[in-house]
Structure 1
């Protein structure tokens, strides 16, 4: 059955390692017949959550006028959400964390979604990347019945393009095909 997939690439570099893994996931998903779209977060104007509380109970939309509302709409409409980040100091990129914080306005509508996580780092130890995965899982802990389907660890890739030819490229494609 075809699924609607949104891929959130938070790389600050178009063609960066995590962005390249997003492209491979996208290729696999499209080949499998899924309706998939990659959003390169750097292309969007996403402001920080101000903590105003207006959206708290879901009765009022976020009062900010930026591109976050459109991205959240795509997340709500998706069956599968792929969240990709380069690892910075063993945590998420600022772009990804900002988007997660803005989910306050619609997170109650994100129940039952399937999630995949993509991480890239110069670090070669998958164990050292677990705290970054836990940041993503912290978001999922706030959702109703999320389903974590897979994590792709792009280890040992610092300079843009170093991920090419590494096992993570094949893993991303396979997970996209099997989403």
Structure 2
């Protein structure tokens, strides 16, 4: 059964290592017959959540920026994939800002069930990504019909393009996409 997959590349860098993993995931998913869409945050304007909670009653954020359109697309997809570089042992600020802005989804009906994380870090240790995984798991816990379905950890990617030398991570991202 074909699934609708939204891949969110949250790196501030065009063509960065996490975006490369996202593209490989997409290739696997498309070859398996799934419908994919990729949104890159590096050219999007997303303001910080103001914490007013108005969205909890209206279903809409008071802020008018690119997050509004992204969240509408997230809501309608079967699968969400977040691709992020690890900065200071945590997800990118762009990813965290987007997650905070998804507050209107909390009381809403949403389609997504499976959520994947593709992470890259300069650090060689997979444990360097645990805080990012835990942060995403915390967000997912707010959506009782959803689950973290898989994580790819691309370690040792210390320079732009370095992920190309990480065959295991590339293969894992491709296979994860094929097996969504």
For the aligned pair, the TM-score class normalised by the smaller chain equals over 0.9
In the alignment, structure 1 residue 170 sits paired with structure 2 residue 171: yes
Q: Is the 8 A contact 1:31 1:177 kept in 2?
A: yes
Q: Which residue of 2 aligns with 1:52?
A: 52
Gap runs ≥5 in structure 2:
none
Q: Which residue of 1 aligns with 2:118?
A: 118
The ranges of structure 1 where at least 4 consecutive aligned residues each deviate by more than 6 angstroms after the TM superposition are none
Q: Distance in 1 between matches of 2:13 and 2:83?
A: 12
Q: What is the count of residue pairs matched by the alignment?
A: 178
Q: Is the 8 A contact 1:111 1:146 kept in 2?
A: no
Q: Which residue of 2 aligns with 1:64?
A: 63
Gap runs ≥5 in structure 1:
none
SS of 1:175's equivalent in the other structure is: helix
Deviates more, 1:85-94 or 1:127-136: 127-136
In the alignment, structure 1 residue 6 sits paired with structure 2 residue 6: yes
Q: With the length of structure 2 as denominator, give the TM-score of the two structures.
A: 0.94
Q: Which residue of 2 aligns with 1:127?
A: 127
Q: Is the 8 A contact 2:24 2:174 kept in 1?
A: yes
Q: Which residue of 1 aligns with 2:74?
A: 75
Cα deviation digits, residues 65-114 of structure 1 (max 9, x gap): 11111101111110000011101111111100000000001233336510
Q: Which residue of 2 aligns with 1:15?
A: 15
SS of 1:132's equivalent in the other structure is: helix
Q: Is the 8 A contact 1:6 1:78 kept in 2?
A: yes
> Which of the pair is proportionally richer in helix?
2
